[in-house]
Chain A
């Protein structure tokens, strides 16, 4: 988005008090090193480029996009796990961008993560009690019997048998392991839990259980979630607001129903049309928007609108001017789209996109 578009960002002015986390023009570039003798950055992977978003207290912000669009990188920047190239992250109005480990420590208690892989995110050589008790050990909040009781309470809360305290992760199923991950994230009573594809690795029936657990916990503890997934229906189910990302940029942001029912960005429309519909009658009526070509390399992203080489509506302007993220005519104020020629109601986008002309 352009400089002016940031001023349009709705959260700061009208809803300042219930904002938990703000990312302001967050950018993360990863250097690509050449093969020479001297390590020298020859290029930058623009994983996240000028992304702004807002997470509200007690709400869920969904983040969707293809693999490699920068969702997880954005999450790790917000969680302070990787340094940010530029831009700012605010937690309850305080700047937490690139804090030292020590300075970040109080915010670690407020921001926790649930990871995608229930097998990879639990140390196979440590007992479940030790894994869930880790947050207490790191933050030195309780010891001995007190910690054990707290851990067993957490296990009961997420639907695990507290007697399994001394078991190893390998003795649990995928769904149970993800519950262990949830219990660990919950231990310090954080305000924000970043869920990085928390159900992608699970069976559909288990997905529902974990999603319901997360919803219950949100009600009980007033949690906020940043919920990353590539399953669009899951995101719609859990999210109050949805951000659609494409190649390190925000393509569209808005309330879940607005984005899902009236997508304005051609990419969102294509993405949503690709999701299978549960109702066969409506499925027959739907138009699939077929995109051609692959996602361009984030090392050398397209000029102007990053989606233009694949966009069925692209015109000359799209190749030169970067569209601002703004409210389009006829949309609610909270619905933002970064497109010069947004999709109109009833418009048929089914025409195959142009071949990449770059």
Chain B
């Protein structure tokens, strides 16, 4: 190739219509790392399947011909009035104590569980981020008051509160959501407050102030994008907690009131029958286990994907550099902190807590 040719090509490239140069955002990089992690991909698939299972509950009911509240005393129970097993009389997963289709009940239970899990986490995240931002950014007496409230909520015995509420009021979905949200936001607030305390000392925050930006603009436009990473990880890990929390409350009879199905109250009802009807306890417990496990593994994957130290892109998508094992044995919040250290290059929030 002659020099003129090279020059010709060079000009041709320059003359080509200027393509918009788009920087690869943190989110695009995170997504690439996440999709390079087969455990995370598998758990994403499982989560999607469970969501589809919940959304398709009416279709399942229609396909089997067994409405969720409809008991089938004749074909749904055997001669001794006991539940029938999987595959018997057209019940794919068998029936419950009064002859209702267990598959349909579990599918409708998934709707409640996922709704409670996602809704409470979303509300807790919005509220927790707001409180944490305000406490961390304004400092002073605002921070003192809010930080003490956070401590008080985290110190509260949640089962006792739930039992007390259930005793005073009738158990309902609203109370379940209220109780779970009440105990979820404080953990998020504490992390956000710690991050905000260190982020607000950054020079770019001072730059924003020198431009004349007000506190709300700084909090929500300058600081918030830097918090989305840890909050997303935390939220992904709070969903399974909320799901099992709901199951716990329902199991104790202070959650979703029967006959509305929930994995927790199905398991509670199964207590009397598990010696004769194994399917009655195994299937709802398995779905609960798979759901919480999938969300937990996904949360782990998201945290790893946000941590540039794993460098899975450079490793060609191999998962050999997984560091998940390192985080075992740490509490949830500690693990988040460890995971987020490199990602955000922020100071350890613990070292930033007020003296005295």
Q: A39-B356, A166-B21, A167-B23 are in contact. Are A126 and B225 (CB under 8 A)?
A: yes
Q: Does any Cβ of B come within 8 Å of A256's Cβ?
A: no
Q: A101-B212, A108-B211 are in contact. Are A123 and B355 (CB under 8 A)?
A: no
Please report the total number of A residues contacting B with Cβ < 8 Å.
40
Residues on the A chain within 8 Å of B211, using CB: 108, 112, 134-135, 138-139, 184
A139 to B, closest residue via Cβ: B212
B229 to A, closest residue via Cβ: A125
Report yes or no: A120 in contact with B356, Cβ–Cβ below 8 A.
Answer: no
Q: Does any Cβ of B come within 8 Å of A267's Cβ?
A: no
B345 to A, closest residue via Cβ: A124
Complex CA gap A187/B68 in Å reads 64
Residues on the A chain within 8 Å of B21, using CB: 161, 163-167
Q: Give the one of B20, B206, B212 with max A CB within 10 A.
A: B212
Residues on the A chain within 8 Å of B228, using CB: 125
Q: Which of B23, B202, B217, B226 contacts A138 (CB 8 A)?
A: B217
Report yes or no: A108 in contact with B212, Cβ–Cβ below 8 A.
Answer: yes
Residues on the B chain within 8 Å of A117, using CB: 203
Report yes or no: A138 in contact with B212, Cβ–Cβ below 8 A.
Answer: yes
Q: Does any Cβ of B come within 8 Å of A333's Cβ?
A: no
B228 to A, closest residue via Cβ: A125
Q: Does any Cβ of B come within 8 Å of A253's Cβ?
A: no
Q: Give the one of A37, A121, A167, A181 with max B CB within 10 A.
A: A121
Chain B window 187-217, contacts with chain A (Cβ cutoff 8 Å), 1 for yes, 0 for no = 0000000000000001110111111111001
User: Within A106-128, which residues are at the interface with B (CB < 8 Å)?
Assistant: 108-109, 111-113, 115-117, 120-128
Residues on the A chain within 8 Å of B23, using CB: 127-128, 164, 166-168, 171
Residues on the B chain within 8 Å of A171, using CB: 23
Report yes or no: A125 in contact with B226, Cβ–Cβ below 8 A.
Answer: yes
B215 to A, closest residue via Cβ: A101
Residues on the A chain within 8 Å of B356, using CB: 35-37, 39
Report yes or no: A113 in contact with B212, Cβ–Cβ below 8 A.
Answer: no
B22 to A, closest residue via Cβ: A166
Chain B window 225-258, contacts with chain A (Cβ cutoff 8 Å), 1 for yes, 0 for no = 1101000000000000000000000000000000
Report yes or no: A166 in contact with B20, Cβ–Cβ below 8 A.
Answer: yes
User: Within A68-122, which residues are at the interface with B (CB < 8 Å)?
Assistant: 79, 81, 101, 104-105, 108-109, 111-113, 115-117, 120-122
Report yes or no: A115 in contact with B212, Cβ–Cβ below 8 A.
Answer: no
Residues on the B chain within 8 Å of A168, using CB: 23-26
Chain A window 10-47, contacts with chain B (Cβ cutoff 8 Å), 1 for yes, 0 for no = 00000000000000000000000001110100000000
Q: Does any Cβ of A come within 8 Å of B222's Cβ?
A: yes
Complex CA gap A36/B356 in Å reads 7
Q: Does any Cβ of A come within 8 Å of B18's Cβ?
A: yes
Residues on the A chain within 8 Å of B24, using CB: 168
Report yes or no: B210 in contact with A79, Cβ–Cβ below 8 A.
Answer: yes
Complex CA gap A115/B149 in Å reads 37
Q: A37-B356, A167-B21 are in contact. Are A121 and B203 (CB under 8 A)?
A: yes
Residues on the A chain within 8 Å of B25, using CB: 168
Distance between A334 CB and nearest chain B CB, rounded to angstroms: 30
Q: Which of A35, A105, A121 contacts B212 (CB 8 A)?
A: A105
Complex CA gap A192/B26 in Å reads 35
Report yes or no: A123 in contact with B210, Cβ–Cβ below 8 A.
Answer: no
Distance between B295 CB and nearest chain A CB, rounded to angstroms: 25
Residues on the B chain within 8 Å of A121, using CB: 203-204, 206-207
Residues on the A chain within 8 Å of B214, using CB: 101
Complex CA gap A101/B228 in Å reads 28
Report yes or no: A35 in contact with B225, Cβ–Cβ below 8 A.
Answer: no
Report yes or no: A138 in contact with B213, Cβ–Cβ below 8 A.
Answer: yes
A104 to B, closest residue via Cβ: B212
Report yes or no: B18 in contact with A163, Cβ–Cβ below 8 A.
Answer: yes
User: Within B290-335, which residues are at the interface with A (CB < 8 Å)?
Assistant: none
Residues on the A chain within 8 Å of B212, using CB: 101, 104-105, 108-109, 138-139
Report yes or no: A120 in contact with B210, Cβ–Cβ below 8 A.
Answer: no
Residues on the B chain within 8 Å of A111, using CB: 210
Which residues on B are within 8 Å of A, measured CB to CB? Answer: 18, 20-26, 202-204, 206-214, 217, 222, 225-226, 228, 355-356
Which 4 residue pairs of A and B lie closest in terms of their CB atoms, listed nearest first?
A: A167-B23, A108-B212, A125-B225, A120-B203
Taking A112-B211, A166-B23 as known contacts, 18 extra A-B pairs with beta carbons closer than 8 A to each other, sorted by chain A number, are A35-B355, A81-B210, A108-B211, A108-B212, A109-B212, A115-B207, A120-B202, A120-B204, A123-B226, A125-B26, A126-B222, A126-B225, A161-B21, A163-B18, A164-B21, A164-B23, A167-B21, A181-B207
